[in-house]
Amino acid sequence: MTLDFFTDIAFLAGAIAFVWGLRLLSSPDTARRGNIIAGLGMGIAILAAMFQPMGTVPNNYLWIVGGMVVGGIAGWISARKVQMTAMPQMVSIFNGLGGACAVVLASAELYYFYDGQTALSMGELLILYLALLIGAVAFTGSMLAFAKLQGLVNDRKVTLPYHNILNLIMLAVLLGLTVYALMQGKAFGFNMAMLILALGLIYGFSFVAPIGGADMPVVISLLNSFSGLSAASAGFAYDSRIMIVGGILVGASGTILTILMCEAMNRSLLNVLIGGFGSSGKAGPAGAAGDQVAKEVSLTDAAIQLFYSNSVVIVPGYGLAVAQAQMVVKELDALLEANGVNVKYGIHPVAGRMPGHMNVLLAEADIPYDKLLDLDAANEALAQADIAVVVGANDVVNPAAETDPSSPIYGMPVLQVWKAKNVIVLKRSMNPGYAGIQNPLFFMDNTRMLFGDAKDTLNKLVQEIKNM
Amino acid sequence: METIMSFFEENLEMIYLLAFTILLGFEVISKVPTVLHTPLMSGANAISGVVIIGAILLMRRAAPDDYLTLTLGFIGIVLGMVNVAGGFAVTDRMLEMFKKKKKNA
């Protein structure tokens, strides 16, 4: 029995743990165990990589352990400290770092090749360039996504005129240069390889730049799948099966989420990537709004309506996250439930800025997940509900998606809040949402508006109900 | 064409692995409820930190006086480890919240 045997078994165990862990992660009752199993698999794989026999090599264990301690502590602390409302940003950063790691590996290997220390076939060279480019796009793309989510840059201020055409040209140049590099072999030179890297990094920024707001969940899922694919390519280069398995699984899960997000908006991926809704044909349904007046409701009336209803469906949107109002929502929920009101939540798949954003926020406020209804279940509940309370959501409750073929969001599945007997919309002002689309919901007969900051308004509602 | 064929032949085992893992991945993950979209994404993200294995292998081969490689490897290990440790920890934190008490009404 050699050490080889044990490390190979360990890698196999790690790969199985990844698959098994992801399987468990897809069901609410087992998800936590799934994450722990995948984490253990990673631990085993890292140990195996450290002791896998490689002939006589210097090992440099001190450097390796040092790096792991630094990275481990940094990662663990930021994971513990981050606020739940900042979760999309955190996930973006971690994702970007994985991509950056693949870039570092590919750069090192390319350096050895052009320096004459190693010989590579064209296929092996192609794999290194794939790891380099996909990793670069995942890295800078995620960093820009982070900056956007954190509010450091404005969605609209980072685009250039003809941005999509520029992006296409850049992509074509990148691919052309890469093909040229493959044909040139060693003559291409390391400096040119770094030029490709630089272009790839710029492309990552540029590719995410025009995408923002409600399209964020799509781009985050897509970047997630990229970081997986870059890890898998690096795995090919290092002949490491576990890297291939891990990377491809991530690529698959990112792809599935991307598809789900696109379906939830009834748009193709291409449509999301070039030209968000804001820029294309927003003038469509303008006529509807002009002469109509939205009806307001007083806090007291809203409180009375809620108090005497039998069933309430709350529909949260990004505005809830911005106002950090999840705890007050829970308070309102508890108060109403104590008075015999049945409270549920209608969650649209693309509400918020990452897949499942609303679920995480409401879970933080201790709201049990069985009260959170997905699109179909929520629409059933809404048809029976006395009151629908819309908190900081707009496009996902827009009836124009069903009724107005000229609307840019026509065809997108929405939460049919208007089917409830009454609708109360909590909103900061009458400004249209991210997409810049007028929402006829606000002018419907059974809709009442409650203007103000969501958290503030909810707090006052809670007070009113307490005083009854 | 010849290069493609020889690459295919040389890496046949890896290509099999690639093909089956793609199918397996889609099969395992295809039906995720909305509740778990974020944890799944962040858990998968942690798994993509598996790229750290490559950084460890790179580092182990580096000559003790090859500071370029040592530095690159070190950076790679730090980046990968932040992704791994942070990713699993943050996912666990999220799932811990999901676990808490069922409906009490």
Residue B85 has pLDDT above 80, yes or no: yes
Number of domains observed in the structure of chain B: 2
CA distance A378 to B19: 38
The DSSP annotation for B60-95 comes to HHS-TT-HHHHHHHHHHHHHHHIIIIIHHHHHHHHH
Please name the residues between 124 and 153 in chain A that touch chain B, using a CB distance below 8 Å. 124
If you average pLDDT over residues A28-47, what whole number do you get?
95
Residue A306 has pLDDT above 60, yes or no: yes
Residue B38 has pLDDT above 50, yes or no: yes
If you average pLDDT over residues A434-439, what whole number do you get?
70
Residue A279 has pLDDT above 70, yes or no: no
If you average pLDDT over residues A37-55, what whole number do you get?
95
Smallest CA–CA distance, residue A283 to chain B, in Å, is 32
Using a CB–CB cutoff of 8 Å, tell me whether A228 touches chain B.
yes
Residue B48 shares a structural domain with residue B2: no
For domain A286-466, give the fold. Answer: Rossmann fold (3.40.50)
If you average pLDDT over residues A23-40, what whole number do you get?
93
How do residues A140-173 score in pLDDT, each as one tens digit? 999 999 998 888 887 666 777 788 888 999 999 9
Using a CB–CB cutoff of 8 Å, tell me whether A396 touches chain B.
no
Within 8 A of A95 by CB-CB distance, chain B residues are 45, 48, 83
Using a CB–CB cutoff of 8 Å, tell me whether A308 touches chain B.
no
SS3 A379: helix
Q: Is the dihedral of CA A322, A327, A333, A335 positive or negative?
A: negative
Contact A448, A421 (CB under 8 A): no
pLDDT of residue A316: 95
Residue A395 annotated as catalytic: yes
pLDDT of residue B1: 74
How do residues A80-132 score in pLDDT, each as one tens digit? 999 888 888 999 999 999 999 999 999 999 999 999 999 998 889 999 999 99
Angle formed at CA A136 by CA A120 and CA B72, multiple of 5 degrees: 65
- Quickly state the pLDDT bin for A272 (edges 50, 70, 90): confident
Q: Which residues contact A398 (CB under 8 A, 6 or more apart)?
A: A407, A409, A414, A437, A439, A440, A441
Q: How far apart are the first and last CA of chain B?
A: 68
Residue B8 shares a structural domain with residue B51: no
**Mean pLDDT in chain A?**
89
Show the domain range for B6: 1-31
Residue B55 shares a structural domain with residue B16: no
Within 8 A of A220 by CB-CB distance, chain B residues are 41
pLDDT of residue A435: 58
Residue A393 has pLDDT above 80, yes or no: yes
Residue B74 shares a structural domain with residue B105: yes
Residue B65 shares a structural domain with residue B25: no
pLDDT of residue A434: 58
CB A90 to CB B86 under 8 A?
yes
Q: Is the dihedral of CA A60, A63, A69, A75 positive or negative?
A: negative
SS3 A207: helix
Within 8 A of A22 by CB-CB distance, chain B residues are 25, 28-29, 40, 43-44, 47
Encode burial over A431-464: b for 16+ CB neighbours within 10 A, e otherwise.
Answer: ebbbbbbbbbbbbbebbbbbebbbbebbbbbbeb
Residue B102 has pLDDT above 60, yes or no: no
- Quickly state the pLDDT bin for B33 (edges 50, 70, 90): confident
% of chain A exceeding 70 in pLDDT:
94
Residue B71 shares a structural domain with residue B100: yes
Residue B93 has pLDDT above 60, yes or no: yes
Q: Which residues contact A464 (CB under 8 A, 6 or more apart)?
A: A299, A300, A302, A303
From the candidates A239, A395, A453, A456, which is the catalytic residue?
A395
The DSSP code for A441 is G
**CB-CB neighbours of B12 under 10 Å:** 10
Say how many CA atoms lie within 13 Å of A442 toward its Cβ. 26
Residue A322 has pLDDT above 80, yes or no: yes
How do residues A235-263 score in pLDDT, each as one tens digit? 999 999 999 999 999 999 999 999 999 98
Give domain limits for chain A: 1-52, 87-276, 286-466
Structure tokens that stand for A397 in this block: 């409750």
CA distance A244 to A231: 7
Residue B90 shares a structural domain with residue B61: yes
CB A249 to CB B81 under 8 A?
no
Angle between helices A61-81 and B87-99 (to 10 degrees): 30
The DSSP annotation for A20-69 comes to HHHHHHTSTTTHHHHHHHHHHHHHHHHHHHHHS--SS----HHHHHHHHH
Residue B43 shares a structural domain with residue B17: no
pLDDT of residue B11: 84
Residue B66 shares a structural domain with residue B22: no
The DSSP annotation for A301-337 comes to HHHHHHHT-SEEEEEE-HHHHHHT-HHHHHHHHHHHH
pLDDT of residue A419: 94
pLDDT of residue A284: 39
